[in-house]
A and B are shown apart, each in its own frame.
Chain A
Amino acid sequence: MAQRGAKNRTVGAAVLALTAPLALAACGGGDSDGAGGSDGEVTSLTVQDTFVTEPGASYYGELLDACGQENGVTIERNSVPGGDIIARTLQQASSQTLPDILSIDNPDVGQLAAAGALAPLGELGVSAEGISQGVVDANTFEDELYGLQPTTQSLALFYNEDLLAEAGIQPPTTWEELETAAAALTQGDRYGIAFSAPPTYEGTWQFLPFMWSNGGDETDIATPETAEALQLWVDLVSSGSTSESVLNWGQEDVNDQFIAGNAAMMINGPWQFPVLAENPDVTYQVAPLPAPEAGGTVVAPLGGATWTVPETGDDARKAKAAAVVECVNSDENMVDNALTNSSVPTKAELGEQVVAEDPRMQAFVDVVPDLRSRTAKLQDEWPTAATAIYTAVQTALTGGASPEEALEQAQNG
């Protein structure tokens, strides 16, 4: 009986369901004052982002203030947790109270752009010149650019230096090496490797580099290439090289296991650096994810938050907002941002500057040119495919069906 908390969440859902149409009805007539725009002086802009934890929270606060000052506006910033921002933004869209600047996770751009909640940046004179193609794709919907993304993050293989040295094992570069190394490193209570495969988009995100690197594709997941990738995960679990608990672990749990010494290697991203830094006893290195075959290319998914200008209908405010977004994405700020938030500049040419300061970033900088957008092909249909992928992964890992059958079933819904 989960009445208390469950009520909170269902109340939240009900409130969203309730307020949306109310607001739609109430503000239906108010459209006219937005369309033309107030041509008066813009003195302040509202910003909504998801940076609620350090170091991002303070960093973006200062950066936005500086960029506001540069453009003669004060910034009113509001940060909400990543899980809530889309629901919040949709409410604001229906009540016509969208912020002037909105930062969201890049796969959400398609959803909001398809809904018509975002302004195309091209019309505001913003271009994505010099930014890696994968990043541009992720921020594009129906050939229009909607987001400017300063930095990106992806997945790599973290390994415990001491444990690998003890066992005389080199960091694996191919799937075969990965299986052998993981098996050899599994001893007693310790597993060779840990990754995250819960029934959420996080599980999909972790599986994508395996699926894509092997030639799999989200438009049709019932292929031998994707099945082969899934087979690798199934083998890792069934051989005992990783815990069955991967079915229930988020990426933070995986990091905890790695720090506790329960896993010799893990698949994770640079956003774990601050947590790892709190545990200086754990000596680790970061290597690129293993490729299916020697010399193969690793195609990893592209993460990171992007900056958009919501469609507020006020041209003067949108222009100012676009200027601030451009400032947030300036070359200089990109490098600072990357170093502060353990991420990689989206302009390939700036990668070296970051590696010079933080060598751990090399594995991530290397993959940036090949990073692939989750939403480039399916756009706003991506959530359906993402759901099918994690469903298939869960079915196969629990032994409910062979990888081929699991993928086929999940694809057919």
Chain B
Amino acid sequence: MADTRQRAGGATSAARPAGPEVEVEDRRPRRTWSRERLLQLGFLVPAVVYMLLFFGYPVVQNALMGFQEYTTRTFVTGEAPWVGLENYREVIGSSVFSKAALNTVLFTVGSIAGQFVLGLAIALFFRKRFPLGGLLRSLLLLPWLIPLIAASAVWRWILDKDTGVLNQVLGGLGITDSNPGWLTSTSLALVTVIAINIWIGIPFNTTILYGGLQDIPEDLYEAAALDGATRWRAFRYVTWPLLRPVVTVVLVLGVVYTLKALDIILGLTEGGPANSTQTIATQSYNLSFQQFDFGQGAAAGNILIVVSLVFAVLYLRANRRALDE
């Protein structure tokens, strides 16, 4: 044993330049393994710490808050009595909740469907080369670049029942003379908010889907064309299958983003009229930052997190399947 150590020591100090792998072959693999391992850990630790601190901690804290009576008082005294499921009972039992839950589903499904279909259509359109195509495609990003609060102020002005541009145009064209209350009618407000959210989401969908389309080799289409597959059939049998992984990403990320959409609704209607655009996200915001009931706000938020989590798992599974393929 001592002999080996000596030999190894001698190897590292004196015989290294000559080629240590011959002399210390019994120890070498384990040592490099551990050094490599340390190096790996060294790279991993900052990321893990970062994740735990900035992703894990808030989520855990939010989960805990949902079970606590967490009010303004808590910020001063640090006391947040444990109340079990009371916050959830209050949030789910409130008369707004069923409406907010339904609105969340309609808002998410409506927005995603609209954004995806229009986004894909536009992405396909821009695959064709035509003059100013690049410029137009970059202009399409505009809704994405405008701060949402500014965008919603402009939309409110456009959609105003009496003086808004939209109703004036519609009236001028003789399409309607009754000035629909786009944001003030309980039957129209949610549809309007979804439509504006579609407008906001199109750039994201178009950009990602366009990127996906670029990755599909041109010769596949040529081969398909030789086989007689053009237009719809080319889309159905070439584009769509190859775009599938990108579609999954777009849809899942879209769902997660849309579920928690907050400022567009606050900017347009603040959840009104009469809660017709209230979602679980706006309800959570109201509870936490208007009524200062952070416990109930967290409970509402946690419900959203769980739903998002389901979609995140779907996303990861879909991703893995795509990799396996």
A binds B: yes
Say yes or no: is A192 at the interface (Cβ < 8 Å to chain B).
no
Which of B57, B72, B272 interacts with A112 by CB under 8 Å? B72
Measured between beta carbons, the chain A residues less than 8 angstroms from B184 are 244-245, 247-248, 398
Closest A residue to B73 by beta carbon equals A115
B-side interface residues, number (CB < 8 Å): 63
Known A-B contacts A17-B294, A28-B78, A116-B73; A248 and B183 likewise in contact (beta carbons under 8 Å): yes
State whether A387 touches B291 (Cβ < 8 A).
Answer: yes
Known A-B contacts A1-B115, A199-B275; A10 and B260 likewise in contact (beta carbons under 8 Å): yes
State whether A90 touches B75 (Cβ < 8 A).
Answer: yes
Taken together as a complex, chains A and B put the C-alpha atoms of A384 and B94 apart, in Å, by 12
Say yes or no: is A103 at the interface (Cβ < 8 Å to chain B).
no
Measured between beta carbons, the chain B residues less than 8 angstroms from A260 are 163
State whether B156 touches A248 (Cβ < 8 A).
Answer: yes
State whether A398 touches B186 (Cβ < 8 A).
Answer: yes
Say yes or no: is A333 at the interface (Cβ < 8 Å to chain B).
no
State whether A6 touches B263 (Cβ < 8 A).
Answer: yes
Name the interface residues of A104-163: CB closer than 8 Å to any CB of B. Answer: 111-112, 114-117
State whether B264 touches A6 (Cβ < 8 A).
Answer: yes
Which of B75, B161, B264 interacts with A20 by CB under 8 Å? B75
State whether A244 touches B148 (Cβ < 8 A).
Answer: no
What does DSSP make chain A's interface, helix, strand, loop or mixed?
Answer: helix
17 inter-chain pairs at a CB distance below 8 angstroms, sorted by A residue, are A1-B112, A1-B200, A1-B254, A1-B261, A3-B257, A4-B148, A5-B263, A6-B263, A9-B285, A13-B289, A14-B62, A17-B62, A86-B72, A117-B72, A199-B275, A247-B273, A394-B275
State whether A115 touches B75 (Cβ < 8 A).
Answer: yes
Taken together as a complex, chains A and B put the C-alpha atoms of A223 and B161 apart, in Å, by 32
* A371-387 interface bits toward B, Cβ cutoff 8 Å, 1 = contact, 0 = none: 00000000010011001
* Total A-B residue contacts, Cβ distance less than 8 Å: 167
* A381-413 interface bits toward B, Cβ cutoff 8 Å, 1 = contact, 0 = none: 001100100010011011110000000010011
State whether A243 touches B273 (Cβ < 8 A).
Answer: no
Say yes or no: is B162 at the interface (Cβ < 8 Å to chain A).
yes
Measured between beta carbons, the chain B residues less than 8 angstroms from A117 are 72, 75-76
Known A-B contacts A17-B58, A112-B72, A116-B77; A198 and B162 likewise in contact (beta carbons under 8 Å): no
Say yes or no: is B71 at the interface (Cβ < 8 Å to chain A).
yes
State whether B73 touches A114 (Cβ < 8 A).
Answer: yes
Say yes or no: is B314 at the interface (Cβ < 8 Å to chain A).
no
What does DSSP make chain B's interface, helix, strand, loop or mixed?
Answer: helix
Measured between beta carbons, the chain B residues less than 8 angstroms from A201 are 290
Taken together as a complex, chains A and B put the C-alpha atoms of A115 and B69 apart, in Å, by 13
Say yes or no: is A18 at the interface (Cβ < 8 Å to chain B).
yes
State whether A409 touches B285 (Cβ < 8 A).
Answer: no
Name the interface residues of A1-43: CB closer than 8 Å to any CB of B. Answer: 1-6, 8-10, 13-14, 17-18, 20-21, 24, 28
Which of B260, B264, B269 interacts with A248 by CB under 8 Å? B269
B298 to chain A, nearest CB (A): 7
Known A-B contacts A2-B258, A3-B257, A17-B62; A248 and B273 likewise in contact (beta carbons under 8 Å): yes
Which of A189, A244, A311, A383 interacts with B290 by CB under 8 Å? A383
Taken together as a complex, chains A and B put the C-alpha atoms of A9 and B148 apart, in Å, by 11
State whether A114 touches B72 (Cβ < 8 A).
Answer: yes
Measured between beta carbons, the chain A residues less than 8 angstroms from B221 are none
Measured between beta carbons, the chain A residues less than 8 angstroms from B186 are 398-400
Measured between beta carbons, the chain A residues less than 8 angstroms from B161 are 243-245
Say yes or no: is A213 at the interface (Cβ < 8 Å to chain B).
no
Measured between beta carbons, the chain A residues less than 8 angstroms from B254 are 1
A133 to chain B, nearest CB (A): 26
Measured between beta carbons, the chain A residues less than 8 angstroms from B274 are 199, 391, 394-395, 397-398, 400
State whether A262 touches B75 (Cβ < 8 A).
Answer: no
* B269-307 interface bits toward A, Cβ cutoff 8 Å, 1 = contact, 0 = none: 111111110000100011011111010001000000000
Measured between beta carbons, the chain B residues less than 8 angstroms from A114 are 72-73
B270 to chain A, nearest CB (A): 5
Say yes or no: is A94 at the interface (Cβ < 8 Å to chain B).
yes
Say yes or no: is B6 at the interface (Cβ < 8 Å to chain A).
no
State whether A398 touches B73 (Cβ < 8 A).
Answer: no
State whether B298 touches A17 (Cβ < 8 A).
Answer: yes
A215 to chain B, nearest CB (A): 25
State whether A17 touches B78 (Cβ < 8 A).
Answer: no
Say yes or no: is A174 at the interface (Cβ < 8 Å to chain B).
no
A148 to chain B, nearest CB (A): 21
Which of B185, B270, B294, B298 interacts with A199 by CB under 8 Å? B270
Say yes or no: is A80 at the interface (Cβ < 8 Å to chain B).
no
Closest B residue to A199 by beta carbon equals B272
Say yes or no: is B262 at the interface (Cβ < 8 Å to chain A).
yes
Name the interface residues of A237-258: CB closer than 8 Å to any CB of B. Answer: 243-245, 247-248, 257
State whether A6 touches B148 (Cβ < 8 A).
Answer: yes
Measured between beta carbons, the chain A residues less than 8 angstroms from B263 are 2, 5-6, 8-9
Taken together as a complex, chains A and B put the C-alpha atoms of A93 and B281 apart, in Å, by 26
State whether A2 touches B148 (Cβ < 8 A).
Answer: yes
Give the 4 A-B CB pairs with smallest separation, nearest first: A1-B201, A5-B148, A199-B272, A2-B261
Say yes or no: is A52 at the interface (Cβ < 8 Å to chain B).
no
Taken together as a complex, chains A and B put the C-alpha atoms of A120 and B41 apart, in Å, by 54
B113 to chain A, nearest CB (A): 12
Closest A residue to B286 by beta carbon equals A387
B2 to chain A, nearest CB (A): 52
B70 to chain A, nearest CB (A): 9
State whether B292 touches A86 (Cβ < 8 A).
Answer: yes
Measured between beta carbons, the chain B residues less than 8 angstroms from A115 are 71-77
Measured between beta carbons, the chain A residues less than 8 angstroms from B281 are 6
Measured between beta carbons, the chain A residues less than 8 angstroms from B111 are 1
A27 to chain B, nearest CB (A): 9
A82 to chain B, nearest CB (A): 13
A401 to chain B, nearest CB (A): 9
Taken together as a complex, chains A and B put the C-alpha atoms of A245 and B147 apart, in Å, by 24
